[in-house]
Structure 1
Amino acid sequence: MQSIVLLMWLALCTEQDVRERQISNTLTLGVATGALVWLFATGHSWIGADASDAGWALAIVMLLTLPGYMLGRFGAGDVKLMGALALATSPQYVLGTFIGAGITVVAWLLGRRRLWTLLNPKLKKRLQKLAEEVGDKQPFAPYVLVGFLLTAVWIQ
C-alpha cells in the first residue's frame, strides 16, 4: 500500500517534470515534511524501515545527487525529490531506484528511436517533450518513477 502511494506521488512529479521541466516545492517538500513527521511520530519510515535507515538513505541521496547538482546535471527539484523519497523509504529503495533509473536512462537512449516508431500517435504527442532534446535540462523524474517501480517489484 505504501509503495502505491509513493508511485502515485512519483507519477505526479513525473507529469510535472515532463511538462514544465521542474518539480514544484509543494510536491517535494510536502512529501519530505510528511515523511519527517511520520519518522518522528512512529520511529520508522513510511515503508516501515527504521528511522536510522531513512537517515542513511538521505545521506546516500545527498552523496549521489549533490555533485550532479553542483555540476548542473541535476536540478534542485531532482535533489529534493530523491531526498523526500529517501526519508519515506530505506537505503535499499534509494539505491535500487538509482540503479533502476540508470538502467532506464540507458535503455531509453539506446532504444528510443525504435520504440518511438511503435508508439500510438496520441501517446507520442503526450511524450513529445520527453523525446525532445532541450539543451541539458532533461526530466529526471520519469526515470526515477521507473527505477522505483522496478525496485518495489524486486523488493516485495
Structure 2
Amino acid sequence: MQSFVLLIWLALCAAQDARQRHIVNGLTLGGGALALAWLLWSGTTWLGAEAQQGGWAFLLALGFTLPGYAMKRMGGADVKLMAALALATDGMHVLGTFIGAGLASVFWLLLAPRVWLHMGQGLRTHLFYMAPELSRKQPFAPFVLVGLILTFAWFR
C-alpha cells in the first residue's frame, strides 16, 4: 500500500512536470514534509527502512541533484522531489530510481522521434515538454517515475 501511495504522489508530480515543466511546492515540499513527519514519528521511512537509512538517502539524493542544479541542468523542484523521495524510501531505492531515470531518459531520447509522430494530438498537447525537439529541456519527474517503477520491479 505504501508503494502505491508513493507512486500516486510521484505520478502527480510527473504529470504536472510533463505538462508545465514545473512542479508546485505543495507536491514536492508537501511530500517531503509528510515523509519527514512520518520518519520522525515512526522511526522508519514510509517504505519501512530505518530512519538512519532515510537520512543517508536524503544526503545521497542531494549529492546526485545539487551538482545538476548548480550547473543549471536540473530545476529546484527536481532537487526537492528527489529529497522527498529519499525521506520516504532508502538509499537503494534512491540509487535505483536515479539510475532508472537516467536509462529511461536515454531510452526516450532515442525512441521519442519515432513514437511522437504516432501519438494523438491531445496526448502530445498534454505532454508538450516531452517533445523530442525539446530534448535539452526534458522534464525530470516523468523519468523519476519510470525509474521508481523499475526499482520496485527489481527489488520485488
Structure 2 length normalisation: TM-score?
0.93
Aligned CA RMSD, in angstroms, stands at 1.6
2:23 paired with 1:23: yes
Deviations 1:93-142 (A, max 9, x none): 10000010000011011111122234344433332331154584321100
Counterparts of 2:19 and 2:121, CA distance in 1: 18
Q: Runs in 1 of length 4+ with deviation above 6 angstroms?
A: none
Aligned length: 156
Q: Paired residue for 1:12? A: 12
Task: Calculate percent identity across the aligned residue pairs.
Answer: 53
Q: Paired residue for 2:73? A: 73
Q: Which runs of 5+ in 1 are unaligned?
A: none
The one-letter amino acid paired with 1:128 is F
The correspondence of residues 41-120 of structure 1 with structure 2, limited to 5 A, is: 41-120=41-120
2:130 paired with 1:126: no
The one-letter amino acid paired with 2:86 is A
Structure 1 length normalisation: TM-score?
0.93
The one-letter amino acid paired with 2:32 is A
Counterparts of 1:32 and 1:74, CA distance in 2: 18
Distance 1:11 1:62, change over 3 A: same
Q: Which runs of 5+ in 2 are unaligned?
A: none
Q: Could you tell which deviates more after superposition, 76-85 or 19-28?
A: 19-28
Aligned-pair CA distance for 1:153? 1.4
